[in-house]
Amino acid sequence: MGGGTLVQPADCLYPRPSIIKIPLKTVVIVGTSLPFSGVVICTIISLYTAFDEVTESVCGVSNFVPSISAVTGITPQLYFWRYAIGFHSAPRLLLAMVYYNYHRLFLTRLSCPMAFDILIKLALFFNLVDVITFVGVAFVSNRENFPVHERMFIVFLFASSLYMLTVLIIHRILNAHYLLPGRMQYSFTLKRTFFLLTMFFISVLIYYFYYHRFKCFPNGK
């Protein structure tokens, strides 16, 4: 080995192939399905094993269907729900940064980059608060500490709604500057539709929660 030639290790020249490859699409589909699957499984188990317990309320009247907090706040459903939300939330933290970096790519192509930068930072903030409080709601059940559970749920509703609204504004700006790709335009349409549906269902939730919790009307009647 003369002439000062540096011999590189084989691993540096030819990286080893990955042991496991998981497509991002698969991660997203599995991750987003975990909360829904968790609620369905917890509801079925709760209705079968503890119907009276999960349909009762503090007023002494019964619910037509149990709340999510009720079916996920008793054991063993509690542990299954926490695992589901834990595995669901980890990829969401990664995707929050992916979306943030993706939106930053458009900064130099807009007439008001500073305002757009503020918007994407707000979106990232609301997204992170959304994920963190969702985990908090799952890991602090209403039976363990109701005041903390309730407050985190309220923050979660506000953060998730503001995140959706901020992303809609971001995509509207990009669309107005003809910077939104075709597939993202379809995503923009879906986001707008689901945002309106979410606002409708949140309004219904608040209505029934008020009459059932504070007026003690059975089933919100």
pLDDT of the residue at 218: 57
End-to-end CA separation in angstroms for the chain: 88
Q: Is the pLDDT of residue 160 over 90?
A: yes
If one counts every other C-beta atom within 10 angstroms of the C-beta of residue 122, the result is 17
User: Whats the size of the chain, residue-wise?
Assistant: 221
Token output for 195:
């945002």
- Residue 41's pLDDT is 94
Phi, psi torsion values for 101, nearest 5 degrees: -65, -35
Helix/strand/coil for 56: strand
Residue 10 confidence (pLDDT) above 60: no
Distance CA 172, CA 178 (A): 10
The 10s digit of each residue's pLDDT in 45-77 is 999 998 888 887 766 667 777 888 889 988 899
Q: What is the pLDDT of residues 115-156, one digit of tens each?
A: 999 999 999 999 999 999 999 999 998 888 989 999 999 999
* Gap between the Cα atoms of 154 and 157, Å rounded: 5
What is the pLDDT averaged over residues 206-220?
71
For the record, the structure tokens of 98 come out as 């992916």
Query: pLDDT confidence of 14, banded at 50, 70, 90?
Result: low
- CA dist 180 and 30 (Å) reads 27
Q: What's the pLDDT tens digit per position in 73-123?
A: 888 999 999 999 999 998 899 899 999 999 999 998 998 899 999 999 999
Residue 216 has pLDDT above 60, yes or no: yes
Helix axes 77-104, 24-49, angle to 10 degrees: 150
Q: Which residue has the higher pLDDT, 69 or 22?
A: 69
What pLDDT shows up at residue 58? Answer: 67
Query: What phi and psi, each to the nearest 5 degrees, are found at residue 111?
Result: -75, -25
- Residue 182's φ and ψ, nearest 5 degrees, are -55, -45
